[in-house]
């Protein structure tokens, strides 16, 4: 449940699903490349995680839409309480997931592929090679629940920048981590760490059919 203060100052409680249409249209998210279908899937999973008590920070949701080109700003951080698009940024996919476009995903060690589905953000850490990073826990068995064992984290990378796109024609690729422009990693982590929902999407028929959080 999401508490929202009305103009009189009293608290009214809505479920996220009651807010989704207004948020999508008010923020004009279609103009930023995010489809309503992906947004709706993200909020449906968010609601289930919230009801299950999995989210300590339910007021923020992060959506990564890997159906878009890596040249697009395909990560969206949305404040559901204040109805604000906080960040819309580039995000890299795994080296063996695809080149400009993501195509193949895995939950297995050593694949260097991205994993689909819902995650709950944890604490920040200092990686030995990538610096400030965010631990993300996959919560969908068979799809991303091996993320921590695979050391899949959110971190900054020089290959996740506009300059890299200008040089190569596409974004660079990670070892499976959702990597961001280095100048954004700190403010993004400070916004979404410690119990918010992260949804990594691609229209994979097997995932869409079997995900317990989308059914």
- Does residue 124 have a pLDDT over 60? yes
CATH architecture assigned to 2-210? Beta Barrel (2.40)
Indicate the pLDDT class of residue 15, thresholds 50, 70 and 90.
low
CB 138 within 8 A of CB 146: yes
- Does residue 8 have a pLDDT over 50? no
Cα 159 from Cα 141, distance rounded (Å): 30
Tens of pLDDT, residues 147-170: 999 999 999 999 999 999 999 999
Tens of pLDDT, residues 32-80: 999 999 999 999 999 999 999 999 999 999 999 999 999 999 999 999 9
**Of 71, 113, 109, 108, nearest to 96 (Cα)?**
113
User: What six digits make up the tokens of 20?
Assistant: 């989704």
The phi, psi pair for 211, rounded to 5°, reads -65, 125
**Of 98, 83, 114, nearest to 16 (Cα)?**
83
Tens of pLDDT, residues 173-192: 999 999 999 999 999 999 99
Cα 139 from Cα 117, distance rounded (Å): 8
- Does residue 21 have a pLDDT over 70? no
Listing DSSP states for 139-157 in one string gives -STTTTTTTTTTT-EEEE-
Locate the domains of the chain by residue range: 2-210
Q: Rounded to two decimals, what is the model's pTM?
A: 0.91
Tens of pLDDT, residues 61-73: 999 999 999 999 9
State mean pLDDT over 99-121: 98
Residue 138, class by beta-carbon neighbours within 10 Å (0-12 exposed, 13-18 middle, 19+ buried)? buried
So what's the pLDDT on residue 20?
A: 54
């Amino acid at each position: 449940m999401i508490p929202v203060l009305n103009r009189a100052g009293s608290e009214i409680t809505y479920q996220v699903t009651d807010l989704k249409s207004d948020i999508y249209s008010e923020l004009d998210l279609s103009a930023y490349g995010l489809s309503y279908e992906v947004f709706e899937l993200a909020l449906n999973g968010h609601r289930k995680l919230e009801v299950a008590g999995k989210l300590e920070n339910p007021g923020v949701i992060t959506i990564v839409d890997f159906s878009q080109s890596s040249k697009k700003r395909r990560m969206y951080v949305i404040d559901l309480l204040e109805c604000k698009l906080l960040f819309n940024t580039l995000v890299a996919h795994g080296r063996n997931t695809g080149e400009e476009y993501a195509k193949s995903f895995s939950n297995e060690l050593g694949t260097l592929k991205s994993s689909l589905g819902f995650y709950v953000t944890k604490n920040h850490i200092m990686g030995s090679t990538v610096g400030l990073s965010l631990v993300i826990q996959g919560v969908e068995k068979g799809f991303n629940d091996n993320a921590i064992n695979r050391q899949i984290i959110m971190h900054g990378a020089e290959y996740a920048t506009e300059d890299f796109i200008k040089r190569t024609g596409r974004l660079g690729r990670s070892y499976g981590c959702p990597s961001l422009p280095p100048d954004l990693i700190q403010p993004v982590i400070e916004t979404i760490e410690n119990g918010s929902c992260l949804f990594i999407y691609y229209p994979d028929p097997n995932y869409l059919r079997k995900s317990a959080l989308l059914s």
